[in-house]
C-alpha cells in the first residue's frame, strides 16, 4: 500500500469518528493522532501529538495523521502528516 493510500485511509477513519469525538466536549479543539485507523491519543497541541508520534511511538512519517477535532462543515480538509 502506498503512503498516500495509508494517509487517505487514516483520514477517512478520522472523518468517520469525528462526530463521536465532537460529542465529548473535552475533545473539542484538541488534536487526534491516528495511525493504522486507530486513535492513538488526543492532545492539547499539535506539538504534543507530533512528539508522541515521532519520539515515543517512532512512527514513520507519512504513516500517521494529526487532525484538529473541530466542526468541519466549512473546513477544507488537509492531512497534517
Res 79 pLDDT > 70: no
User: Does residue 74 form part of some domain?
Assistant: no
**More reliable by pLDDT, 38 or 77:** 38
Asked whether residue 75 is domain-assigned, the answer is no
Using a cut of 0.75, tell me whether the model's pTM lies above it.
yes
Sheet strands (E) in 1-81 = 31-35, 38-43, 64-68
Check: CB of residue 67 under 8 Å from CB of residue 39: no
Express each pLDDT in 4-44 by its tens digit.
Answer: 999 999 999 999 999 999 999 999 999 999 999 999 999 99
Q: Which domain holds residue 25?
A: 3-68
Count of Cβ atoms closer than 10 Å to residue 41 Cβ: 15
Residue 81, domain member (yes or no): no
Flag whether pLDDT at 75 surpasses 80: no
Amino acid at each position: 500500500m502506498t503512503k498516500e493510500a495509508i494517509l487517505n485511509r487514516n483520514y477517512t477513519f478520522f472523518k468517520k469518528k469525528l462526530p463521536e469525538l465532537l460529542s465529548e466536549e473535552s475533545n473539542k479543539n484538541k488534536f487526534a493522532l491516528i495511525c493504522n485507523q486507530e486513535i492513538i491519543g488526543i492532545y492539547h497541541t499539535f506539538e504534543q501529538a507530533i512528539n508522541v508520534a515521532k519520539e515515543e511511538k517512532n512512527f514513520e512519517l507519512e504513516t500517521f495523521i494529526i487532525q484538529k477535532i473541530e466542526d468541519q462543515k466549512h473546513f477544507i480538509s488537509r492531512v497534517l502528516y
